[in-house]
Amino acid sequence: MTATTGARDPHKLTGKGQATRARILEHAAQLIYAKGVHATNNEQLRRAAGVSGSQLNHYFPTKESLVLAVIAWQAESVLSFHRSEQFARFDSLDAFRAWADFYIGYEHAYQEGCSLGSLASEIIKTDLDVHDELASAFDQWRDTFREGIERMQQLGRISAEADPARLATLLLAAFQGGTLLAQVARNIAPLKDALQTAIDYLRTFATSPDVGVTAPQVGGGVHEAGGRLDSEDVSGGQGRLLAR
Amino acid sequence: MTATTGARDPHKLTGKGQATRARILEHAAQLIYAKGVHATNNEQLRRAAGVSGSQLNHYFPTKESLVLAVIAWQAESVLSFHRSEQFARFDSLDAFRAWADFYIGYEHAYQEGCSLGSLASEIIKTDLDVHDELASAFDQWRDTFREGIERMQQLGRISAEADPARLATLLLAAFQGGTLLAQVARNIAPLKDALQTAIDYLRTFATSPDVGVTAPQVGGGVHEAGGRLDSEDVSGGQGRLLAR
DNA sequence: CCTCGATTGGGCTTGACAGCCCAATGGTGG
DNA sequence: CCACCATTGGGCTGTCAAGCCCAATCGAGG
């Protein structure tokens, strides 16, 4: 239960060994995110990470151990991204808007999907026991939203009527589902619609008039091309988030 | 583009041949839904469908053709289920509630996920070209909701302010994402929260006071055990929908 | 009743991938 | 300077699944 990362505890390796292990992990995460678990074999990993045969066996004795380590790595990436300064712990509607705009402008979102969600979908039905690891990650992700909404309530920014837990679940589900629909359609629009509509709902609980950039939910403002923030530079150190 | 089902057009087979092909397809859909595409091999298919070796090659020359046929079959199942009488073409809030309650009470939803969504997630990154088929199915699915909401507007049941397309997208995304989260958590709660919260939003556009069974969105009514409709018999002829 | 084509059955071969082994290297402490 | 151990390299083999072939059977039309 504790050995979530698979064999070879990183802290028992030398500096060079840790570096090699990290390099493998990083490239594995990238490859798996781009091509999926099944389409990624160890020969590709060897070439990508510049390592060779027995190294994979040395640091990750089985493919399962590698996948588990990648899951942990991606989970940590997503969570640290959502906890980063740029979103101010989601204590305002603008923080949620900035978050949505980031993914709406993030091209990988509708190409490879969510780094955690697509991985989860692909292996959830296999015999790999990854439920606990993934469930914990998604719980923490949702709690990031929930705690932000609770803080907004404490700050008087939204009504006490709102149910933070349910709204947080809707936001995360809309993101995961919207990402899947966007992947299938090869078009960001479904994700954009889902996220903005969910945030529109959140806004209906706002206590102040709110200075939203777009009108509440009237008209199909979402369906035309232009973005609202362009979001390209909401990024900072989160290149790690989805790919890379 | 037209040969979506793969080789051997069904209408060019004898009655017996069609029956065999249908039997293979049905069992393949069930197995793939339960175990995933990669974990399903032709030996399992042979035993499940009671057919043998060359029959798979005869009716479905490649695995890709079989998967494509399964996708088409599942898409048709989902769409015909959503278009069935029981949901009255989604022309009322109660129809949406009945829909949500069905899936909340449908145990497969948090075990194997959505019959179409989980399939899509698993193979979207492979070289199989299934985007068009899947995109069409999801579009039609979303349109089912959208047209229902538009009808509700025409009937004066909800405000003209509502954006049917975006709300429909949110509903579908919440379902897909909620299903994924429920699968990971091995618990129906995330799906329940996501769907009910999305429908709560839809209800805020209602013109009449509404006789909803639960209070709007106050309190965490979702997090306790009891369901709202128990939904077990919203079903009818839709055993085909997800499994079977 | 006969013939022919469609349908069915089981076995087989090829290819790919995961996992493993042995040899070589490099660095670190004694 | 030496010895030992962690680290690295490349190749190898067992396993499994997909795709294919040949033989047998069944049904329909003449």
Per-residue pLDDT of A173-218, as tens digits, reads: 999 999 999 999 999 999 999 999 999 999 999 998 765 554 444 4
- Of residues B215 and A187, which shows the higher confidence score? A187
Chain B closest CA to A241's CA: distance in Å? Answer: 19
Nucleotide nearest to A58 (CA to C1'): D7
Sequential DSSP letters for A178-241: HHHHHHHHTSSHHHHHHHHHHHHHHHTTBSS----SS-SS-TTTTTSS--SS--TTS-SSGGGS
**In this complex, which of B120, B121, B190 lies closest to A169 when CB atoms are compared?**
B190
**Which of residues 3 to 32 on B have a Cβ less than 7 angstroms from any strand D atom?**
14, 16
State the Cα–Cα distance between residues B38 and B107, nearest whole angstrom: 23
Q: Specify the higher pLDDT residue, B218 or A208.
A: A208
Q: Best residue in A128, A193, A218 to probe B by mutation, most B CBs within 10 Å?
A: A193
In this structure, is the CB of residue A17 within 7 Å of any atom belonging to strand D? yes
Q: How many CB atoms sit inside 10 A of residue A172's CB?
A: 29
**DSSP assignment of B95-118, as one string?**
HHHHHHHHHHT-GGGGTT--TTHH
- AA identity, residue B156: G
**Nearest CA among B202, B82, B73 for reference residue B142:** B82
Measured CA angle at A176 (ends A152, B65), to 5 deg? 175
Residue type present at position B148: G
Question: Tens digit of pLDDT for each residue in B10-23?
Answer: 556 677 778 889 99
Q: What is the DSSP-derived secondary structure letter of residue A158?
A: B
> What is the arithmetic mean of pLDDT over B128-136?
90
Contact between the CB of A13 and strand D at under 7 Å? yes
Model confidence pLDDT, tens digit, residues B60-82: 999 999 999 999 999 999 999 99
Question: Would you state the pLDDT for residue A9?
Answer: 57
How confident is the model at residue A217, as a pLDDT?
44
Which pLDDT belongs to residue A86?
94
Task: Report the length, in residues, of chain B.
Answer: 244
Which residue minimizes Cα–C1' distance to D21?
B54
User: Distance, in angstroms, between B207 CA and closest chain A CA?
Assistant: 16
**Percent of chain A topping pLDDT 90:** 66
pLDDT of residue A3: 39
pLDDT at A50: 87
CA-based nearest residue to A82, from A136, A25, A140, A133: A140
How far apart, in whole angstroms, are the C-alpha atoms of residue B187 and residue B67?
28
**Cβ count near B152 (within 10 Å):** 24
Cβ contact, residue pair A181, B172, below 8 Å: yes
Confidence label for B101 from pLDDT (cuts 50, 70 and 90): very high
Please determine, for residue B140, whether its predicted confidence score (pLDDT) is greater than 60. Answer: yes
B28: exposed, middle or buried (C-beta count within 10 Å: 0-12, 13-18, 19+)?
buried
Kindly report the pTM of this predicted structure: 0.85
Q: At A196, is the secondary structure helix, strand, or coil?
A: helix
Average pLDDT over residues B208-236: 44
Q: Which residue of B has its CA nearest to A35?
A: B125
- Find the mean pLDDT for residues A62-72: 94
Which of A130-134, A166-170, A225-229, B105-109 is predicted least confidently?
A225-229
Contact predicate A126/B39, CB 8 Å:
yes
CB B23, CB B81: distance < 8 Å: no
